[in-house]
Structure formats: C-alpha cells, structure tokens
Amino acid sequence: MSIEVRHLHKSFKDFVALRDVSVNIASGELVALLGPSGSGKTTLLRIIAGLDTPDPKPETVVLVNGESVHDHSAQQRRVGFVFQHYALFRHMTVFDNIAFGLTVRPKAERPTKEEISRRVTELLRLIQLEGLAGRFPSQLSGGQRQRVALARALAIEPKVLLLDEPFGALDAKVRQDLRRWLRRLHEELHVTTVLVTHDQEEALEVADRIVVMNHARVEQFGTPEQVFHHPASGFVMDFLGHVNLFHGRVEGGQSILDGSAGPDSSRIYARPFELDIHRESGLSGSAAASAVKARVDRILAAGAQAKVELARPGDDPILVELSHARLRELGLSVGDEVFVSLKEARIFDEDYSI
C-alpha cells in the first residue's frame, strides 16, 4: 500500500508541528522519519495513522493506495502501530497478546480459533519466539517484548505498519540486533512501513529511504546513500554523523581555509574520514590551500579506524579518522604540531539551527 501526503500543515495553538510537508512512500517500502526532537516526525506519523488530523487547508491531501483517507478512522485505515513502550497486556500470555487484535473483532469479521492459532504460530516463527507462547511479558527481555508488540501489530494484517521509536527504550546491543531482525522481517513481509527515529545509524541501516526533518519541514528525502553522501543542506550533513566545520572562501572551485567567518565566508564541512594529517607544512596544490595547523590532543586507536582529536586556537576541535597503517606511518604523539588537509568537503553558505 502506497502512502502519499501533500502540503500537510499542523499547529497546536502557537506551536507549528508541520509546515507544508509532502512525502510519497511507495508500496512495500520501509521509510524512516529522522530528525531531532520537535521536528515533526511523530506528528506526521500520527496523521498517517488517523490519530491526528492536519489543519484544514484546501491543498492538503492524505492518500493510502491512491484513496483519500481524510474521513477514515485509524481502524478503517488498517494501520498497525507500535510504540516505544510495548504496552503489552501483563496478565496475558505472549500468544494471547499477539492474538488480541483478532479476538476483539466483531463476530462477523473474527477468524476462527483455528485460523487465529495458525496466524499466531506463524508470527511466533517470524519473530523467533516459537517456544515462548505461554510466557507472560514479565518473563521476557526488553527485546523480546518489543518483538511481541510488533507481532501483535502484524496479526491484524495491516495495510501499513507504523513504528514510533520502537527500540528507543532498549540498550545499544539489543537495538543493533533488533534493527537487523526488523530489516530481515520487512524483506520477508514487504508491508509498507514508516519508522520514526532520532537515531541516525538506525535510519541509515534499516530504511530504503529517509525523510530528514527539521523545524517542521522536510530537509531532504532520499536513499541512505543520497542523504549521507549528497546532503541537501548543512543541517542534513551535520545531523547524519560527526562533521568538522571550517570557515574560508572558495577560489577557482578550491576551498581556502583562511579561518575567516565574515559575511563573505563559506561554511566548509568535512567528515572525519575526509581529512588527512601531515607532519610538515610543505604541501602542494589543493592540499596546501586547504591545510590548517593544529595540535594533537588525543589519539583513540581502538576500533576499525583510528581517531585523532586535534585542537586549534580559538576554534572548534577537529576529529580525523585514519587507517591504522596511516597512524603508524605518521608516528603521532599527544602534543605534536601537525597540519590537516581536506580530501573532500562540502560547502553550504546558509546557517541553520537544530
């Protein structure tokens, strides 16, 4: 089922939650709504679900599979909703929690007991909890409870699955495991899914496409590769991982890091792996023009890449990621004076805030 929203506006008294938001989600796609707190992610999700209504504007459109759902309730839209806090029934077993949405249907629409049992058994297989049907929520780990909550949402065979920060209450290792599991589950079921998250890594790993939101607007909508490697704004680049900010100017298509932050200067952004460190200032060509002097403040050698934190007088620190071979070649020590050059950078003239 495809989802399309056009020109959504939503205000809560004086607070603007959405400002002219348009998004088109293809059938079977997993899309992440990513952004800082207060950017409008959950409001957009709730409007898609039918739990909130947009401000009445003549240009506003909400479509599910090409059909307007303005007047449809959440139940009529056949939406499966999973929240950060599992909201499982503590007095019910895992089996009964998953079956709940089927057992409370009107009698004419309710599946037979055999059909309910078959569907719950299949969902227990999908969430890899086949042997835990008779347990109660208190007997499960946090990750297992969240899988049960997902299975309960899937039991009603929703047209659309909406996830509002479903892994936010879990520790980092469990989140990683569940992200991989969710992606495999989606590839098996192909239910159109919208995931709200403020976790950049989660969005980049799980989603087919990402809607990056800030201040009630869509900053960029694209694949993980597009938003990470081809950000549409300084905000998108800064929000999707660590970024080093330099001030300078552009001459002949080349970035000159002169440290100026005046009205004619440019904001030059580079990720840690897009920088290099040199022992000497005797660089040539573009490397010389883009080099800045700094002092080694800290060396973090644990991990796939070595991280070097650099200090520069009167300016923000610099983080550089190097291969371990490059770190050994440089032979750096804390306190060394070095030069940093750009291997790649992006220039955005606009200022922004989160």
Instruction: Note the pLDDT tens digit of each residue in 84-98.
Output: 776 889 999 999 999
**DSSP class of 160:** E
What per-residue confidence (pLDDT) applies to 285? 54
What per-residue confidence (pLDDT) applies to 26? 96
Q: Which domains does the chain have, with CATH numbers?
A: 3-239 (3.40.50.300), 244-348 (2.40.50.100)
Residue 17 burial (CB count, 10 A): 23
What per-residue confidence (pLDDT) applies to 254? 65
Pairing of strands 306-311, 318-322: antiparallel
**Bridge-partner residues for 338, per DSSP?**
294
Stated pTM of the model: 0.85
Phi, psi of 200 (to 5 degrees): -60, -45
CA atoms of 198 and 137, how far apart (whole Å): 27
What per-residue confidence (pLDDT) applies to 260? 57
Sheet holding 318-322, edge to edge: 275-278, 337-342, 292-300, 306-311, 318-322
Within the chain, which residues score under 50 in pLDDT?
A: none
293 neighbors 281 (Cβ within 8 angstroms): yes
Integer angstrom CA distances of residue 261 from 185, 237, 249:
49, 19, 9
Q: Alpha helices, DSSP H only, in 58-171?
A: 94-103, 113-126, 142-155
What's the token pair of residue 219?
């900053």
Note the Cα 230 to chain centre separation in Å.
16
Integer angstrom CA distances of residue 99 from 22, 94, 95, 140, 162:
35, 9, 6, 17, 19
Phi, psi of 237 (to 5 degrees): -65, -45
What per-residue confidence (pLDDT) applies to 283? 57
CA atoms of 348 and 54, how far apart (whole Å): 33
What per-residue confidence (pLDDT) applies to 287? 53
Evaluated on CA atoms 49, 52, 58, 59, the torsion sign reads negative
In the block, residue with structure tokens 């992610």: 41
What per-residue confidence (pLDDT) applies to 9? 97
Within 8 A by CB and 6+ apart from 210, the residues are 31, 32, 34, 203, 204, 220, 221, 222, 223, 224, 227
What per-residue confidence (pLDDT) applies to 304? 93
